[in-house]
Amino acid sequence: MSTTVERIEPPTATVLPATATPSPAVVTAAPVLLATPIPVNTPDVVNTGLTLDATYRDTYVGLALDYPSDWIITELSAEQKAQSQTYATAFQSWVSGPGGGDGIPEGGAKIDLGVTPDGTLTLDRALATLRELYARPDSDNELLGTKPLTLASGLPAVRVQTKSVFGESSYIFTVINGHQVNLGGIGDQAQVEQIAQTLRPLTEGDNANPNVVTARMTDVRAIRAVSDMVPVYSGPGETFPLITNVPGGFALAVSGITADARWYELAGCGDQNPNRPAPACWISADEAQTTPIRAITPSEQPVMSTEQAAVMVVANGMAPVHSGPAAGYPQIAQLAGGMSFPITGQSEDGNWWRLAACSSLLNEVLDECWISADPTVTEAVDALIPHGPQSSVPPQVDPPQRSGTVTITELPKCFNLDTGLVGGQSNPNCEFNLHPHESAGTLFFEPILPARFGFGGVFPEAPSATMCTGSQHLSSNSEVIAPLATLYVCYQTGEGRFGYLHFLDMTEEPLTATLEWQTFE
């Protein structure tokens, strides 16, 4: 990059939305709209005489853009990006006077590149959510139309045309590596368009560090997490969005490794898994044990028939699931106490039950799943019990509550979002556990299967039932949530209903959390 580029901090008002007091928790949000107006009749690509001799690289989400090296860039640091629900980088062709109020000089142009980190989006899903946001009765903007296009870089995108009190405008809308990207500009539109056409995913050829996005073949087929909670990122580095945390002892299949052997690519986020939490998942080699585990393969142990239909997990907390009928096989999943699960047989020695299926921590369906038959862990039952053992509490006369604001004290506690009941974690009807997190003012929100929750369905305002139902990447993984005004997270309850949770406030002594919630019928 040319040394004539000036980097300005702190960011100017082109950053969107306001992130003056970001939470320390890594959170993501739903699409936001780029406010910079652009004339609707944006010209086709033309050669403006600009020399695009520099490349802007955003290694946080993995995108690149070419621009003139003498333009000025205003951007956030990697740390600020990691703490922002959305951020923007501004490119402009001139130096602003004091106060920045001189306007755009003749022949000048300014571009805003907005990013909403997510890691799970597709262009179709992001566009559907965008249309819903414009269709809301309280929206100040009108969606005039969308036009599919393919940028010169080969990237599929959509030109979005809108109308507001400021007039008609348009911008380019796309998804890169599962993250929403908006690009718009003012001034010389031919220059804006020429630069916009170079927008693309970051590749090895773009990046000075070839380890950012490229996985190489490795003879390691699986790893075991060695620390208590090992972070999984959407790319090989701690500056990439956090996907989930893996408990120590869990085994995960591997599909690749970085050139410096510092990061493993996890196979569970490959295309074969439609429920993957992100298009790519990476784990640090420093947190991964490769011996004696080399692969997760079928146990090839005989499966004996049984007259039992299911097992009830009677262990407190979570019970481990292994890839074979012995504790020496890799642990691949875990099941919640108080829930029952179908089985297809038992081991030859009768000490293990073979489950019909289980899900990995990356939401991949596995068919070689074994759980201990130890009576302190499981109890065989004649039929599947969807919601655990019968409670001694008398049945409710009033219909269950489906929405409201609740204040929960003396955490950790259990929350049932089908009924609105709060109880201890041993409650057999528990759907979601709430634990205090080491980061002050944040919570671990832990779904208990079959309930699901997660940042595949996050919105800046209260979402509709349709918006939550369309969130395809909810998961059974624990997530860290913070009390943010623009953080509404979708969930699916144990009875299959969808809804959203809004974390309003948290106080100490006693530890108290206030949550707004809505479960749709």
pLDDT digits (tens, 9 = 90+) for 447-470: 876 777 765 556 667 777 777 776
Per DSSP bridges, beta strands 222-225 and 87-92 are unpaired
**Are residues 335 and 451 both part of a single domain?**
no
What is the structure's pLDDT at 15? Answer: 28
**Are residues 231 and 190 both part of a single domain?**
no
Report how far residue 391's alpha carbon sits from residue 389's, in angstroms, rounded to the nearest whole number: 6
What is the structure's pLDDT at 175? Answer: 94
Among candidate residues 162, 179, 208, the one with its CA nearest the CA of residue 42: 162
pLDDT tier for residue 215 given thresholds of 50, 70 and 90: low
**Are residues 60 and 184 both part of a single domain?**
yes
Residue 385's alpha-carbon distances to 39, 83, 125, 313, 346, in angstroms, are 60, 42, 35, 11, 19
What is the structure's pLDDT at 154? Answer: 87
> Contact, 490 vs 467, CB < 8 A?
yes
- Please provide the average confidence, as pLDDT, over all residues in the chain: 75
Q: Which residue has the higher pLDDT, 298 or 387?
A: 298
Residue 278 placed within a domain: yes
What is the structure's pLDDT at 428? Answer: 63
pLDDT tier for residue 26 given thresholds of 50, 70 and 90: very low
Residue 172 placed within a domain: yes
Range of the domain at 140: 54-201
Cα 162–chain centre separation? 28
What is the structure's pLDDT at 292? Answer: 54
Lowest model confidence (mean pLDDT) among 207-211, 358-362, 421-425, 492-496: 207-211
Max avg pLDDT among 240-249, 317-326, 398-407, 413-422: 317-326
Name 65's Cβ contacts closer than 8 Å, sequence gap at least 6: 55, 56, 113, 195, 198, 199, 200
How large is the average pLDDT for residues 370-374?
93
**Are residues 374 and 458 both part of a single domain?**
no
**Using one digit for the tens of pLDDT, what is the confidence trace for 73-125?**
888 877 677 777 888 898 988 876 544 445 678 888 999 999 998 888 889 99
Report how far residue 279's alpha carbon sits from residue 177's, in angstroms, rounded to the nearest whole number: 7
For the chain, what is the domain count? 4
Among candidate residues 192, 222, 5, 170, the one with its CA nearest the CA of residue 108: 192
How large is the average pLDDT for residues 472-500?
74
What is the structure's pLDDT at 180? Answer: 93
Residue 514 placed within a domain: yes
Give the position of tokens 């969308």: 146
> Contact, 176 vs 62, CB < 8 A?
yes
What is the structure's pLDDT at 446? Answer: 80
Residue 146's alpha-carbon distances to 128, 159, 250, in angstroms, are 11, 6, 45
**Are residues 186 and 126 both part of a single domain?**
yes
Report how far residue 30's alpha carbon sits from residue 81's, in angstroms, rounded to the nearest whole number: 15
Structural element, H or E, at residue 186: strand 179-187
**Using one digit for the tens of pLDDT, what is the confidence trace for 251-289?**
888 888 887 788 888 988 887 877 777 778 889 988 887
Q: What angle do CA 431, 442, 252 make, to 5 degrees?
A: 65
Q: Which residue has the higher pLDDT, 200 or 426?
A: 200
For residue 9, is pLDDT > 60?
no
pTM: 0.41
**Are residues 192 and 61 both part of a single domain?**
yes
What is the structure's pLDDT at 30? Answer: 30
The CATH number of residue 366's host domain is 2.30.30.40
Report how far residue 430's alpha carbon sits from residue 447's, in angstroms, rounded to the nearest whole number: 9
Given 171, 201, 231, the domain boundary residue is 201
pLDDT tier for residue 335 given thresholds of 50, 70 and 90: confident
Give the position of tokens 């922002």: 84
Residue 118 placed within a domain: yes
**Are residues 181 and 63 both part of a single domain?**
yes
**Are residues 373 and 412 both part of a single domain?**
no
Q: To the nearest whole percent, how much of the chain has pLDDT over 70?
A: 75
The CATH number of residue 168's host domain is 3.40.1000.10
> Contact, 515 vs 499, CB < 8 A?
no
**One-letter amino acid for residue 296 of the chain:** I
Given 260, 289, 318, the domain boundary residue is 289
**One-letter amino acid for residue 466 of the chain:** T
**One-letter amino acid for residue 291 of the chain:** T
For residue 50, is pLDDT > 80?
yes
Residue 207 placed within a domain: no
**Are residues 369 and 438 both part of a single domain?**
no
pLDDT tier for residue 144 given thresholds of 50, 70 and 90: very high
Length of the chain (residues) = 521
Given 201, 235, 252, the domain boundary residue is 201
H helix intervals, 364-512: 465-469
How large is the average pLDDT for residues 361-387?
83
For residue 403, is pLDDT > 90?
no
Report how far residue 119's alpha carbon sits from residue 61's, in angstroms, rounded to the nearest whole number: 8
